[in-house]
Structure 1
Amino acid sequence: MTPLGTVAGVRDFVEANLDDVRATLDRHVERAMLELPSAGADYRDLWASIGDQYLGGKDLRPSLTLAAYAGLGGEDAEAAVPVAAAMEMLHTAMLIHDDLLDGDEVRRGRPNVAGTRRAALATSGLPPAQVESHVLSAALLGGDLALASSYDLISRAKLPAHHRIACLDLITRAIRTTIAGELLDMYGGMVAPEQADSLVVAELKTATYSCIVPLLAGAQLAGGDPTMVSHLEKLGASLGLSFQLVDDDLGVFGDPAVTGKSVLSDLRAGKRTELLRLGFQRADAAGRAVLEASVGDPRLDEDGAARVREVLIASGAREHALRTARQHGRLARRIASERIPAPLSGYLVDLIDSLADRLS
């Protein structure tokens, strides 16, 4: 592995230890499956479906933790890996609960926790209402187990007490902030689409736990000073917003075979994304009529979604939303290059550039 102190060294540290992050998560799930032998097969199956949930992800959150740690002078992988694993387990919890709120049963092209439970009950003979109750319960309890595991991974890590407490505090901050964002997102349906606080929702619901907290956790372990923490917080907020705006675009215009995500679910749910807020704000009367008839319709089909996409393009909403994503990406890049020391600065600039490629 390339010596630390260079961008290549940080990149090698991240890539080499992501396998250990995955192994740590696998061991955690395996241990949890066996710790209550009297709980039965359903408990073990729920843990197994949680383990399947984090397969195939981008590893953004553990990568940011490992990079911030190594890029600011940290060298002890044994200290950083459990914290990075906790960031991925936190992400898993958020995905499970977010899918529950959205009514989605597929994630990354595979059945999620709810979808796995529904498949297991396909031949059970239970009444439909009871099946639904089982499916919802599995998603709720699975997300709760993953949340508890994010704390457990840190509490068992070989860390000095002050680092452990600080990282646990960051997990708490991430959960509380995400819940605030979820509430705004859920209750956004009570206001006109063009009045939704979509960027605030994106920062609260995604940017904090996806970028800010993982970066701050790595910096904490490496002994980053308050000024560095402030810069990383601003960088993480802009990076997270850019990331979410692009994700929202892919949720309408992406290729499900590539993204593993439906291009109908956000439209059917009437999600108040910045893309749709701008669509309602900028569309002419005919275009707005299309949006009002289609967005939020749980029976929306591909033909209806195609008409919505035409309105989002013709009104300039899509281009404006992507322009905002680029602006936040550029701001994150500028902070990385001007305020963050080497070698972390170089790693983050390369990462931001690679994420920007999703816009092309």
Structure 2
Amino acid sequence: MIATDTDAALRRLLEEGRTRAALVDRHHALLWEALEAATQGGKRFRPMLVVATHDALGGSRARAAAEVGAAIELLHTALVIHDDVIDGDHVRRGQPNVSGRFQSYARTAAADPDDVIGYGLTAALLAGDLALAAAVRATATCDAPREVVHRLLDLLDSALHTSAAGELADVRLSMGRDEATLAESLAMEERKTGAYSFALPLQAGAVLADAPAGTTDRLGAAGRMTGTAFQLVDDLVGVFGDPVRSGKSTTNDLRTGKQTPLLVHARSTPEWARIRDYVGRDLTADEQADVRSLLVAAGSRRFVEDLAEQHLADARVVLTDLGVPATLLDDFTTRPPALGDGNGAAA
């Protein structure tokens, strides 16, 4: 029922956007089609967290919970599209993303190479903006009392500010002028992912259920812990993963020198003298295998796996204490299917 309700709500949002886009021109319609494609393939765990938390806390606003869950999923799509622009990625889950699609359109029109790139980035920025606006509008017009909607919008605004700060910190730390501490790297991880992907859905569900402020605050803390664990695992997939199964590059983080906890820990080990030679440049397949082996030998992979598991364990304690099923977090493990063994082979 949860998936059915939230999927139906998301379809309504996308259909409304498609209708508006069709009234403009065919190029704008293509932009919305690319945005719709960007919503496909995810696990929809953000809407699930909203609805399940609302239900567990005795809420009676099922329709509003589904609508807000769909809005948060669309918010996720917006931030993913913008994140791909920031990282210079043109593929997502093995398929051209928004910028990749529009680069293809520009090539078909025999555009100059610079214009091809510019057209793709322009389309991605605009699609992300449209998704963001649609998410805010859907939250503002959900089937809930005015005071509840105001609280939801405050949560959404706070999540956006926090996520923006985390994304900016990620890029700033990657500039490499200063070596990030583990605390700084973890704070970036929490802000970048935890705020909107976990804290926001859990808190939104609580607000819709008229839960006490203390419950909402504690769910926010649990969400931030879960988000940190999720991002830590994503960092591992970004080095040790199977791109075919994850749809995620296994070279980008090393090439751009992202100061993830994985590399921050490695920097404190004797193996760093060799690992650092692989950071900040493109790698061959053999070099990728070498650096993965070094990160395992340094204990960095195990360190990050253990850190992620501890964050998840702490979050589960909070959820259980509040009467929210900790099973909501069962899908977030430190060894997802897309994560390979120490040599990078798929598990």
Say which is worse superposed, 109-118 or 18-27, in terms of deviation.
18-27
Scaled by the length of structure 1, the TM-score of the pair is 0.88
Matched, 1:292 2:239: no
Considering Cα pairs closer than 8 Å and 6+ residues apart, tell me whether 1 or 2 has the greater RCO: 1
Look up the match of 2:342: none
Secondary structure of the 1:358 match is: coil
The one-letter code of the counterpart of 2:111 is L
Decide whether the 8 Å contact of 1:179 with 1:205 is kept in 2: yes
Cα distance in 1 between the residues matched to 2:149 and 2:169 = 31
Identify which of 191, 199, 213 aligns with 2:177: 191
Report the CA distance shift for 1:340/1:292 in structure 2 as closer, same or farther (over 3 A). same
Deviations 1:127-156 (A, max 9, x none): 111111101111111111111011111122
Matched, 1:95 2:80: yes
Look up the match of 1:255: 242
Look up the match of 2:230: 243
Cα distance in 2 between the residues matched to 1:76 and 1:226 = 18
Count of aligned positions = 335
Matched, 1:232 2:216: no
Matched, 1:50 2:50: no
Deviations 1:270-325 (A, max 9, x none): 2111111111222x2xx43443332221x323222212111211111111111111
List structure 1 segments (4+ residues) > 6 angstroms apart after TM superposition: none
Deviations 1:59-98 (A, max 9, x none): 1211111111111011332121110001101111110011
Decide whether the 8 Å contact of 2:256 with 2:280 is kept in 1: yes
Secondary structure of the 2:53 match is: helix
Matched, 1:160 2:129: no
Flag the structure with higher helix content.
1
Look up the match of 2:131: 146
Decide whether the 8 Å contact of 1:313 with 1:319 is kept in 2: yes
Decide whether the 8 Å contact of 1:193 with 1:276 is kept in 2: no
Secondary structure of the 2:330 match is: helix
Secondary structure of the 2:123 match is: helix
Decide whether the 8 Å contact of 1:193 with 1:280 is kept in 2: no
The one-letter code of the counterpart of 1:139 is A
Decide whether the 8 Å contact of 2:275 with 2:295 is kept in 1: no
Decide whether the 8 Å contact of 1:33 with 1:43 is kept in 2: no
Identify which of 39, 47, 71 aligns with 2:24: 39
Secondary structure of the 1:143 match is: helix
Look up the match of 2:289: 306
Matches within 5 A, 1:1-360: 16-37=1-22, 39-188=24-173, 189-193=175-179, 195=181, 197-282=184-269, 284=270, 287-297=271-281, 299-337=282-320, 339-341=321-323, 344=324, 347=325, 349-356=326-333, 358=335
Aligned identity (percent) is 38
Decide whether the 8 Å contact of 2:316 with 2:329 is kept in 1: yes
Decide whether the 8 Å contact of 2:176 with 2:257 is kept in 1: no
Give RMSD over aligned pairs.
Answer: 1.7
Scaled by the length of structure 2, the TM-score of the pair is 0.91
Secondary structure of the 1:158 match is: coil
Say which is worse superposed, 152-161 or 319-328, in terms of deviation.
152-161
Q: Could you tell me how far 1:236 is from its partner in structure 2?
A: 1.0
Look up the match of 1:12: none
- Name stretches of at least 5 consecutive residues in structure 1 with no aligned partner: 1-15
The one-letter code of the counterpart of 1:302 is A
- Name stretches of at least 5 consecutive residues in structure 2 with no aligned partner: 338-347
Q: Could you tell me how far 1:194 is from its partner in structure 2?
A: 5.0
